């Protein structure tokens, strides 16, 4: 299988959920979505955690990276 963008979440962080973004092979039980031309694979059991999730890239004078924000967890911004 071809490597694809992979997102998962785990318990932890200030809001109780930590989001991980990386590249991995798609698992047979992953759901597949296309967002802005990019195929994203996520474990079906974690789909409920990303409904409403916004992913953005921030680049500032002292930090840069991906930012996850969720309307149900505004403190995670």
Mean pLDDT of 37-48: 86
Confidence at residue 16, expressed as pLDDT on a 0 to 100 scale:
66
Mean pLDDT of 48-66: 88
Local confidence band at 77 (pLDDT 50, 70, 90 cut-offs):
very low
Side-chain half-sphere exposure of 1, counting CA atoms within 13 A: 11
C-alpha span between 33 and 14 (Å, rounded)? 27
pTM (predicted TM-score): 0.55
What SS3 string covers 49-77? Answer: HHCCCEEEEEECCCCEEEEEEECCEHHHC
Answer whether residue 64 shows pLDDT above 60: yes
Q: Are 31 and 42 in contact (CB under 8 A)?
A: yes
pLDDT tens digits for range 15-30: 567 777 788 888 888 9
Domains for the chain: give ranges and CATH numbers.
3-76 (2.60.300.12)
């Amino acid at each position: 299988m071809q490597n694809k963008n992979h997102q998962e979440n785990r318990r932890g962080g200030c809001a109780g959920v930590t989001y991980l973004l990386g590249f991995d092979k798609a698992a047979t039980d992953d759901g597949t979505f296309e967002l802005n031309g990019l195929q994203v694979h996520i474990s079906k059991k974690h789909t409920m955690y990303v409904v409403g999730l916004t992913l953005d890239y921030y680049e500032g004078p002292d930090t840069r990276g991906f930012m996850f924000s969720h309307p149900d967890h505004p403190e995670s911004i």
